[in-house]
Amino acid sequence: MLIKKNKYILLLAALIVSSVFGLESVQAEDKGRVFEMRTYFANEGKLKELNARFRDYTVELFKKHGMTNIGYWVPTDNKDNKLVYILAYSSKEAREKSWKGFLNDPDWKAAYKASIKDGRLVKKIENVFLKGTDFSAIK
């Protein structure tokens, strides 16, 4: 169990470090940059399938449509079956364009349809828009 826990801690640390260093070059030129933190509440027994959909399809489709994947997490207690993730966009307008393209993408429509054949995966979605502070490592 300790090895598994350390593996996830190292993975999260790697994601954060790669995000900070990978986004550093964009920070100076991207004053309108906006982040979106999304929380998905999976239906009972559906979190595994939701994670699989993100792992196998959604993350790459987000990239395809110009979204920057910052990271994906589940709470340590996860009694509410949550998946939390953060995306970045160059602006709110870019966010709207990216989501429109994503939702109309035939690959997304097919992946979504296949993933809900045994019932809907998500019962509720919450999102919050964030802007980096002047002292944030990621802006």
pLDDT digits (tens, 9 = 90+) for 75-119: 999 999 999 999 999 999 999 999 999 999 999 999 999 999 999
pLDDT in tens, 101-112: 999 999 999 999
Helix extents (H) in the chain: 2-27, 47-53, 59-64, 92-104, 106-115
Q: Is residue 136 part of a domain?
A: no
State the pLDDT at residue 29: 44
The answer to the question of residue 46 being in a domain is yes
Q: Is the pTM of this model over 0.85?
A: no
Tally of domains within the chain: 1
Q: Residue 115's pLDDT is what? A: 96
Q: What pLDDT was estimated at residue 27?
A: 46
CA 37, 19, 88, 91 torsion-angle sign: positive
Q: Is residue 113 part of a domain?
A: yes
